[in-house]
Amino acid sequence: MKIAITGANGFVGAALCRYFHSEGHEILAIGNRETPNRNLLKVAGYIKEDITGVMNLIDADVCIHAAALASDTDTYKNLILSNVEGTLNVVEAARNCRFFIHISSSSVYQFKGLPVTEDDASIQSELSDYGETKLLAEDIVELDIPEHQKRLILRPRAIYGVGDRILLPKLLSLVKGNFLLCPFKKETQSSLTHIDNIGYAIDLYLARKDQKQFQVFNITDEKPYLLWELALECASAVKKVNLIPLGLPAPLVRMFLLLNTKKGVVRNISKPVLQSMENNSVLDISLIKRELNYRPTKNFHNSCSEIASWVHSFGTPNSYLKQLIDAPWTITS
């Protein structure tokens, strides 16, 4: 198949380009950079397009829309422009594709303790601006579906893996010397989604012969994680030292980060992120397991050493943090 992927310069888009290239598909990478990383050109053809404006028609069998402004701190106007209007423009450009796959977010949910199902998403005052715009984008994907096209929405939780430039920097900002600041309760659980599990799920979906015209699935690793243990394992592996966990109230951590983290790295941890550190954020994946026979094998524990080795390929964690713009395509063999 010929698969077009938006957001190809970002973490999710880059990883999906590599994943489907390795599966033997022809890849059309779409991004807004004038000149992409040379590693991208090894696996894909490249088209420069700005999704916030009118786009040319996409010539592909499948369009995977991974481009988004993933921020809890940017302006609502910018989030609307990128995540809502941008999605509308991509949907229009992909109207001739047989499949349209939209990478959404678990930010469309307000977690209340129990694992959330696909029916629990709704516009609420507690949603972040980012979560609200991702849910509005989903509304666009659900409307006016051409008869020849099938559409799928995937809602991952905290995507991680080689190429990450969002989750890992936030975690490293909690490291101070030999200490890991832990605003997590020891019993707090969260779902996470390895990036390859997204590619695997899309593979399963495309292989079916009886897709419904429109479907929505939560997608995560097989089981949720204890945030305290996960953060300590990952940060210690990246820093190459057995860090000492230091439990602190979340407000104190926020103040400490604002005062001590240098400009250009990660200057703060947003309110939604802090809330997810204190409360269980677990997705129910029974639907995708039932409908697609989804059985993910990638998880944090069998991927941690690979992620740490990738960070070390930059030289040091600080070198990695200074090269985040190219991190998704800075891949060692």
CA separation, residue 234 to residues 103, 138, 160, 270 (Å): 25, 32, 11, 21
How many domains is the chain built from?
1
CATH of the domain at 233: 3.40.50.720
Taking a C-beta distance cutoff of 8 angstroms, is the pair 7, 31 a contact?
A: yes
DSSP count for the chain of H helices, then E strands: 13, 14
For 165-194, write each residue's pLDDT tens digit.
999 998 998 899 999 988 778 888 999 999
> Which of 152-156, 210-214, 244-248 is least confident?
244-248
CA separation, residue 193 to residues 102, 178, 246 (Å): 16, 28, 26
What is residue 142's three-state secondary structure? Answer: helix
pLDDT at 290 over 80: yes
Cα distance between the two ends of the chain: 25
CA distance 173 to 267: 8
What's the pLDDT at 272? 57
Report, as an integer, the average pLDDT of 309-332: 93
**Best CA proximity match to 221, nearest among 157, 304, 310:** 157
| Residues comprising the chain, all counted | 333
Q: Kindly give, in sequence order, each residue whose CB lies less than 8 Å from that of residue 139, ignoring residues fewer than 6 positions away.
A: none
User: Starting from the edge strand earliest in sequence, which strands make up the sheet with 214-219, in order?
Assistant: 45-48, 26-31, 2-6, 62-65, 99-103, 150-156, 214-219
What is residue 65's three-state secondary structure? Answer: strand
Percent of residues, the chain, with pLDDT higher than 70: 90
pTM across the whole model: 0.92
What's the pLDDT at 127? 85
Domain span at 25: 2-329
CA distance 221 to 296: 6
CA separation, residue 92 to residues 53, 70, 86 (Å): 11, 22, 10
What's the pLDDT at 277? 61
pLDDT band at 270 (very low <50, low <70, confident <90, very high): low
